[in-house]
């Protein structure tokens, strides 16, 4: 049994981790910490876990966490880079669901997250936890920067076309729509039911933290710098991201076949038949990225539709997938859940 610690389990990625790990046949929850809620039974905050998770939140304690095999950070940015080095030294595998280990350039990190990076050496060895891109490195990693939700959907959507060198990488467009849980479990006016409900809007056009992350990832996949317009939108649903990606075709190909070949054998990427339009609910609570490839009017624009559940494949599910890889377990263990429809 893999012994698990979770730092900061009171948010949405936290409760999603608990939902998945509580039923993981080869993992065992050892500790869930929350400075603010220490002492409160987890199932009191999340009654869905009554009878399933019997732990209470505890103070983050180095000894307890250091005795775990894997520690997940479902915290705000800045926590993992402070606590991570000691844990890694203690032989614990660290998986950060926040941004501390995503951006390789500390200057970029500091510009977007408004804090100096306190663990640049650990950042240097950290692996970007997108298994469909980095599976080998993940297996051997000690510390993982787990991709953001938007970045997961966009990178999986563009990877085959980029690797094949078939599109203009200087003018990519990702028009992304996210459910409100992406904003986290924080008391903010903009995420209120009466604000976000029955309403649709763009945000972050002047700069979103996932922009440099997506650009870094796409550039790495393409082997050259890419140019990207990224427009996130807030849509009145709880879970789900739908990315509609536009790219100019520069070389002819059978894109449907390209995508099917590229993802054949991937347990968590599903390329739908030509002409399909994936809906977000088909992956609700599932660790799947579902893709469709279109070429309207048979013209020179490729339109890729990519859906994930932002809390599952976009966060906690991917974290468990990465844990499985790091611990030598079958990659799909504990991740067999089917999308909840309707």
- Near its own copies in 194-223, by CB under 8 A: 194-203, 205-206
DSSP conformation class of 48: G
Supply the minimum distance, in Å, between the C-beta of residue 143 and its own copies: 28
Q: Which of 75-83, 127-135, 313-321, 332-340 is the region at the interface with its own copies (rule: CB under 8 A)?
A: 332-340
The DSSP bridge pattern shows strands 228-234 and 201-202 to be: antiparallel
Residue 149 bears catalytic tag: yes
46 binds its own copies (CB under 8 A): yes
Which position has the token pair 């599109």? 167
Supply the minimum distance, in Å, between the C-beta of residue 61 and its own copies: 26
d(CA 339, CA 283) in angstroms, rounded, equals 5
- Mapped onto helix, strand or coil, the DSSP state of residue 117 is coil
35 binds its own copies (CB under 8 A): no
Catalytic site residue from 68, 149, 176, 289? 149
Q: Nearest-CA neighbor of 178 among 12, 1, 2, 301?
A: 12
Minimum CB distance to its own copies smaller for 86 or for 205: 205
Where b means 16+ CB within 10 Å and e means fewer, 306-322 reads bbbbbbbbbbbbbbbbb
Q: Which of 93-101, 128-136, 153-161, 281-289 is the region at the interface with its own copies (rule: CB under 8 A)?
A: 281-289
Minimum CB distance to its own copies smaller for 89 or for 201: 201
| 102 CB-near residues (< 8 Å, 6+ apart) | 109, 128, 145, 146, 147, 148, 151, 213, 216
Among 7, 9, 12, 151, binds its own copies (CB under 8 A): 12
Task: Identify residues 221-250 at the interface with its own copies (CB under 8 A).
Answer: 227, 229-231, 233, 235-240, 242, 244, 246, 248
C-alpha distances in Å from residue 322, one per residue of 8, 73, 203: 19, 13, 30
47 binds its own copies (CB under 8 A): yes
Catalytic residues: 149
């Amino acid at each position: 049994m893999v012994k698990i610690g979770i730092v900061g389990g009171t948010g949405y990625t936290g409760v999603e981790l608990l939902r998945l790990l509580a039923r993981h046949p080869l993992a065992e929850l050892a500790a869930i910490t929350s400075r603010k809620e220490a002492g409160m039974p987890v199932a009191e905050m999340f009654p869905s876990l009554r009878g399933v998770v019997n732990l209470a939140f505890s103070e983050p304690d180095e000894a307890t966490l250091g005795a775990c095999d894997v520690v997940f950070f479902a915290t705000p940015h800045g926590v993992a880079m402070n606590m991570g080095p000691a844990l890694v030294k203690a032989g614990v595998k660290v998986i950060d669901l926040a941004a501390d280990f995503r951006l390789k350039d500390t200057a970029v990190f500091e510009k977007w997250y408004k804090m100096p990076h306190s663990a640049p050496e650990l950042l240097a060895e950290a692996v970007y936890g997108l298994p469909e891109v980095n599976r080998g490195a993940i297996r051997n990693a000690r510390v993982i920067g787990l991709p953001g939700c938007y970045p997961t959907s966009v990178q999986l959507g563009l990877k085959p076309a980029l690797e094949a060198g078939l599109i203009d990488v200087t003018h990519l467009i990702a028009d992304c729509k996210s459910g409100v849980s992406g904003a986290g479990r924080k008391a903010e006016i903009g995420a209120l039911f009466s604000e976000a409900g029955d309403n649709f809007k763009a945000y972050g056009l002047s700069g979103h933290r996932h922009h440099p992350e997506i650009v870094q990832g796409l550039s790495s996949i393409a082997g050259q710098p890419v140019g990207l317009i990224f427009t996130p939108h807030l849509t009145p649903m709880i879970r789900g991201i739908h990315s509609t990606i536009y790219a100019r075709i520069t070389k002819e190909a059978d894109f449907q076949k390209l995508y099917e070949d590229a993802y054949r054998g991937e347990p968590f990427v599903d390329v739908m038949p030509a002409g399909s339009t994936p809906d977000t609910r088909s992956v609700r609570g599932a660790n799947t990225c579902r893709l469709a490839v279109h070429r309207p009017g048979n013209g020179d624009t490729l339109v890729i539709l990519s859906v994930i559940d932002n809390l599952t494949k976009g966060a906690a599910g991917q974290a468990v997938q990465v844990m499985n890889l790091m611990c030598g377990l079958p990659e799909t263990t504990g991740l067999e859940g089917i999308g909840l429809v309707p």
